[in-house]
Chain A
Amino acid sequence: MPNPPAPSDPQLYDPIPDPRPIRWPGGKTCAVWVAPNLEFYELDPPPHPRRKSWARPHPDVVGYSHRDHANRVGHWRMADAMSRHGFPGSVSLSVALCDHIPEVVADANARGWEFFSHGIYNTRYAYDMDEAQERAIIEDSIATVQAATGQRIRGWLAPALTHTPRTMDLIAEYGLDYTCDLYHDDRPGRVRTASGDLISMPYSLEVNDHYGFFIYNMSPREYARALIDQFDRLAREGQNSGTVMCIPLHAYLIGQPHRIGPFEEVLRHIAADGRAWITTAGAIADAWRTGGRAGE
C-alpha cells in the first residue's frame, strides 16, 4: 500500500449517527465492558523522533515505578474486585507483558478475559512506521497472544494511542474485528477500510481512569460518581437503542488503596441495576453484527 494522502477527514465512518435501533440480549439497555490496560513500560526505551517516553531523563523512577505497581500489586486488587461482581475484562495488552510477566497474563486468561493488542510496549510508538514495520507489530501481537493465551486477538487499541494513516486498513486485512481508537459514538458502528469493514468499539477517554485522575484531577469518590452518572444516563438512553459503556482502567491507578474501594461501589451499582449487559468487547461486536449492521 502506498502512503495515503493526508485528508482533512479520515472518512472512516458516516458523520451522521446510525438511526436504526440496537437491541442487546436479554432486553438489556447498556452493554458494559471493562478494559483493563495490562501494560509494560520500558525503563530505558529507544527514543522515538516524535514523542518522548518519559518526562525525566532515564531512569524516570516515579514514572516507571508508578506503572510497575500494576504488575506487582494493582492488577490482582483490580481483577479480584471485578471478579467479585461478575465483570470480565477485555484486555488492552502490551503484548511483551507475555514475555516479561506471564503471571499477569495467565491470571487474566484464567479469569476468562479476552485480549486485544495495545502494541508491543507502551513505550514504543507507531508514528512514522512504514508498512512493513506496522505489519511486524501486528503479526507479533497476533503470534505472541496466541502463544501465551491460546486466543486470537480480535481488536486493536494503538500503542499509547499512536497511529499511522494505514493502521485501520492493516488490522482489517489481518482479520481483526474491532478498533478501540475512535471516540465518535456511544454505540458500535461500521468503519470503512481499504481491506473491508471494522467495527468501532466504544472505548472511552472521558471516563478512562487516567483522564479522571490526571486530566480532570478527580478524587476517587468523584471518579466513582462520574462512572455511575455515565452508566445511569447510558442505561436510560439505551431504552431506545442499546448503548455501550466502556470502563478503561489502569491497575496502577484504580488499584491504589485509596481508589479501589470507591471503584468497587461502581461495580456493585452497575451489577445491581438490572439494565446492564456485563460482557466483553468481542461479545458486543458479535451481537452488533447479528443485528445486521456490518457490511451493509
Chain B
Amino acid sequence: MSLDPSYLEYPHRRRGLDHDLFPWSALHTRPPITWPNGKRVAVVIVISCEFFPLTPTDTPFRAPGHMQTPFPDYRHFTARDYGSRLGVPRLVEAVAKVGAHASFAMNSRWAARFPDLARSIVAAGHEVVAHSTDMNGTIATGLPEADERALITASLEVLHAVTGVRPSGWLSIARSQSWNTPRLLAEAGLRYCLDWVNDELPYRMTTPAGALVNLPLNHELSDRQIIATCQQSAASFKEQLLDAHDWLDGEVDAHGGRLLPVHLTPYISGLPYRIDAIEQLLVTLASRPGVWFARGADVVDASGA
C-alpha cells in the first residue's frame, strides 16, 4: 500500500496563503476602523429573498432548502413561498420597528414575482443585494464560465429593471463560488461580495479584473446555521447573537469598530412562533449604545476596504 508520490509534494507550501484570491491579514494588526458618528458595532441585517423553482436543476448543485420529495414537491415549494409572502413582510416590519436599514439579498426571479414588495423595500431605504437568478442559479466549479457570466448579468439586469436600482453587492447561493466568480463579479461592476466567512471586517480581494471587496457574512451567526442546521430555538438564536454583540462591543475600545452580521431567512425566521424572538433581538440591539444598523454597502464604504 502506497500513495502516489505527488501526494507528499506541497507546491503551495510557502509564506502566505496557498492561493492568490486575497492576501492573509490578521484582524487585530489592522488600523482600527471608526464607524460614522462614533458608533461601535455595525449590525448588518441581510434578509435572503429566495425563489425555489418547483423543478430543481442541480446544475451544478442543489441549493440548501430546495425541493426534496418526488415531483411535485408542493410541501417545500409552498413552505418557501410562505417565507416570501408572509415572512418577508414580517421581517420588513421588524426592521422598521427599530428604524433600521437592511440589505435584502434578492433572487432576481423573486423580485420579478413580488415586484411591489421589492419596490417597497427599496422605497423604505433598504439595499438590494444581487442573489443570483433563482435557487437553481447555483455556482461552483463545473459551471461553464459563459453560463456563470450570463447568470450574473441576468440577475443584475432583472433586479435593476424591477427595482430601479443596480446592486453593488452580490451573495452567491450557499456562498458557493467557482474559481472564476470573483473576477466575473468585478467584471460585472459589482463592488463587493458576501461569500467568504474568514474575517470579521470587509477586506479587499484581488482579481484579474480589479478589486472586489468581501464583506464577511458569518454563516455561523445565521438563522439557517443556528436554527435549521443546529436545531436551536429562536430564543437561543437571539441569546447567541446578543452574546456575540456583547463580545464584539467589548473589543471596540482596544481594536476599533466591529461588525455583527445577522443573516435571516424568511421561511425560517419569519414564522409566527419565531418572529417575536427576532423582534426582541432587534429591539435589544437597538437599545444598546453604539449599535449602528447599516446596509452592507454602507459598511463597505465606511471600512475603507
9-residue interface stretch from A19-27, A145-153, A257-265: A257-265
Q: How far is the CA of A69 from the CA of B8 in the complex (A)?
A: 26
Q: Inside 8 A of B165's CB, which chain A residues have their CB?
A: none
9-residue interface stretch from B50-58, B100-108, B234-242: B234-242
Q: Judging by beta carbons under 8 Å apart, are A59 and B3 in contact?
A: no
Q: Judging by beta carbons under 8 Å apart, are B18 and A258 in contact?
A: no
Interface residues of A in 11-68 (CB under 8 A from B): 40, 42-44, 46, 48-49, 56-62, 64-68
A187 located at the interface, meaning its Cβ lies under 8 Å from any Cβ of chain B in the complex: no
Q: How far is the CA of A69 from the CA of B178 in the complex (A)?
A: 20
Q: Inside 8 A of A257's CB, which chain B residues have their CB?
A: 200, 221, 243-245, 247-248, 260
Q: How far is the CA of A71 from the CA of B27 in the complex (A)?
A: 9
Q: Judging by beta carbons under 8 Å apart, are B10 and A56 in contact?
A: no
Q: Judging by beta carbons under 8 Å apart, are B141 and A99 in contact?
A: no
Q: Judging by beta carbons under 8 Å apart, are A62 and B219 in contact?
A: yes
Q: Judging by beta carbons under 8 Å apart, are A59 and B177 in contact?
A: yes
What total count of A-B pairs have CB within 8 Å?
Answer: 153
Q: Inside 8 A of A214's CB, which chain B residues have their CB?
A: 230
Q: Judging by beta carbons under 8 Å apart, are A72 and B27 in contact?
A: yes
9-residue interface stretch from B68-76, B123-131, B190-198, B265-273: B190-198
Q: What would 18 A/B residue contacts be, using CB atoms closer than 8 Å? A: A44-B18, A44-B19, A58-B179, A64-B198, A65-B196, A66-B219, A69-B198, A71-B26, A100-B16, A128-B2, A129-B1, A217-B230, A219-B232, A221-B243, A256-B220, A257-B245, A258-B241, A261-B246
In the complex with contacts A46-B7, A101-B24, A61-B177 CB distance below 8 A: yes
Q: Inside 8 A of A221's CB, which chain B residues have their CB?
A: 239, 243
Interface residues of B in 156-184 (CB under 8 A from A): 172, 174-179
The 8 nearest A-B residue pairs measured at CB: A68-B198, A65-B198, A258-B244, A130-B2, A257-B244, A57-B141, A217-B230, A65-B196
Interface residues of B (CB under 8 A from A): 1-4, 6-8, 10, 12-19, 21, 24-28, 60-61, 140-142, 172, 174-179, 195-200, 216, 218-221, 226, 229-232, 236, 239-241, 243-248, 260
Q: How far is the CA of A59 from the CA of B236 in the complex (A)?
A: 32
Q: For the complex formed, measure the closest distance between the CB of A103 and the CB atoms of chain B, giving whole angstroms.
A: 6
A76 located at the interface, meaning its Cβ lies under 8 Å from any Cβ of chain B in the complex: yes
Q: For the complex formed, measure the closest distance between the CB of B21 and the CB atoms of chain A, giving whole angstroms.
A: 8
Q: Inside 8 A of A128's CB, which chain B residues have their CB?
A: 1-3
Q: Judging by beta carbons under 8 Å apart, are A220 and B243 in contact?
A: yes
Contact of B3 among A48, A60, A121 (CB under 8 A): A48
Q: For the complex formed, measure the closest distance between the CB of A190 and the CB atoms of chain B, giving whole angstroms.
A: 28
Q: Judging by beta carbons under 8 Å apart, are A57 and B8 in contact?
A: no
Q: Inside 8 A of B247's CB, which chain A residues have their CB?
A: 257-258, 260-261
Q: How far is the CA of A58 from the CA of B178 in the complex (A)?
A: 8
Q: For the complex formed, measure the closest distance between the CB of A74 and the CB atoms of chain B, giving whole angstroms.
A: 9
Q: Inside 8 A of B260's CB, which chain A residues have their CB?
A: 257
Q: How far is the CA of A226 from the CA of B61 in the complex (A)?
A: 37
Q: How far is the CA of A286 from the CA of B16 in the complex (A)?
A: 36
Q: Judging by beta carbons under 8 Å apart, are A62 and B175 in contact?
A: yes
Q: How far is the CA of A260 from the CA of B218 in the complex (A)?
A: 15
In the complex with contacts A76-B28, A213-B230, A136-B196 CB distance below 8 A: no
Q: Judging by beta carbons under 8 Å apart, are B179 and A59 in contact?
A: yes
**Interface size, A (range):** 35 or more
A120 located at the interface, meaning its Cβ lies under 8 Å from any Cβ of chain B in the complex: yes
> Interface of chain B, helix or strand or loop or mixed?
loop
Q: Judging by beta carbons under 8 Å apart, are B197 and A69 in contact?
A: yes
Q: For the complex formed, measure the closest distance between the CB of A142 and the CB atoms of chain B, giving whole angstroms.
A: 16
Q: How far is the CA of A120 from the CA of B3 in the complex (A)?
A: 15
* Chain B residue at minimum C-beta to C-beta distance from A3: B1
A124 located at the interface, meaning its Cβ lies under 8 Å from any Cβ of chain B in the complex: yes
Given A59-B141, A66-B219, A72-B198: 20 more A-B contacts, CB < 8 Å: A46-B4, A48-B7, A56-B61, A56-B176, A59-B19, A61-B175, A61-B197, A68-B17, A72-B24, A72-B199, A99-B15, A103-B26, A128-B1, A130-B3, A214-B230, A217-B229, A217-B230, A221-B239, A221-B243, A257-B245
Q: How far is the CA of A213 from the CA of B219 in the complex (A)?
A: 14
Q: How far is the CA of A124 from the CA of B11 in the complex (A)?
A: 13
Q: Inside 8 A of B24's CB, which chain A residues have their CB?
A: 71-72, 100-101
Contact of A61 among B61, B196, B229 (CB under 8 A): B196
Q: For the complex formed, measure the closest distance between the CB of B263 and the CB atoms of chain A, giving whole angstroms.
A: 12
* Chain B residue at minimum C-beta to C-beta distance from A123: B18
Interface string of A66-86 (1 = CB under 8 A from B): 111101110010000000000
Contact of B218 among A46, A60, A130, A256 (CB under 8 A): A256
Q: Judging by beta carbons under 8 Å apart, are A258 and B220 in contact?
A: yes
Q: Judging by beta carbons under 8 Å apart, are B140 and A57 in contact?
A: yes
Interface residues of A in 69-127 (CB under 8 A from B): 69, 71-73, 76, 96, 99-103, 120-121, 124
Q: For the complex formed, measure the closest distance between the CB of A68 and the CB atoms of chain B, giving whole angstroms.
A: 4
Q: Judging by beta carbons under 8 Å apart, are B8 and A100 in contact?
A: no
Contact of A258 among B61, B199, B229, B240 (CB under 8 A): B240
Q: Inside 8 A of A42's CB, which chain B residues have their CB?
A: 12, 18
Q: How far is the CA of A237 from the CA of B202 in the complex (A)?
A: 48
Contact of A100 among B1, B15, B245 (CB under 8 A): B15
